[in-house]
Amino acid sequence: MRLVILDDYDLASEWAAKYICNRIIQFKPSQGRYFTLGLPTGSTPLGCYKKLIEYHKNGDLSFKYVKTFNMDEYVGLPRNHPESYHSYMWNKFFKHIDIDPNNAHILDGNAPDLQAECDAFEKKIEEAGGIDLFVGGIGPDGHIAFNEPGSSLASRTRLKTLAMDTILANAKYFDGDLSKVPTMALTVGVGTVMDAREVMILITGAHKAFALYKAIEEGVSHMWTVSAFQQHPRTIFVCDEDATLELRVKTVKYFKGLMHVHNKLVDPLYSMKEEN
């Protein structure tokens, strides 16, 4: 497990974007050889998405041979609702890059048979050859995707009832009106993300500090589902200084002492201009 600690949110976002960029380019994607990327929503990945868009517009990165699978989607929210994750992904990321819409997979929270939709999503991931890099964020209660506290660490894509903490946290996107916040969602399972060849989790802000502490300094627990990734062979936690506030000084010093190694993963930043 790697813990990458940057000074602030912007630097953490840039490091994560550089890492994704380098992984895609080093993979050498082409027709019949797609790089498969798992993606999150929420406020944390926005800075990362902005940098990836910048790399694309500069001609350094293409998503032509990239397939994406999103973590989750609300149930019962129209696809064109401004707060649906379909809207989020297209407005914040997909419409600014050259991804083929057929290669951008997002769960349908309005499907007539929600369990069949979840099963089909797992099958699509399998048919794509599995996920090369799953990027995720977490909630203050340590949930990954919508795998709320108490979720099975072997769970697959399914329908989940949202915890009240999650509903309260999401109310800001619905004019602060709790009655407008969806109470159910379709989500990939912890086991689904664990099957990815590599996982990168973005954790920023003091309000996520206790969750980061639970994720890396305490044991694996289904009450803090992000802690499961201690057992993944290739996990990178990318965080800012504020997110480390609950960690032991010794832990922070240890991982900061490895930054010269971690930075070699993103420096130099590769470019498709050079590859071509």
Residues with a catalytic annotation lie at: 72, 141, 143, 148
Picking from 238, 172, 241, the residue whose alpha carbon sits closest to that of residue 206 is: 241
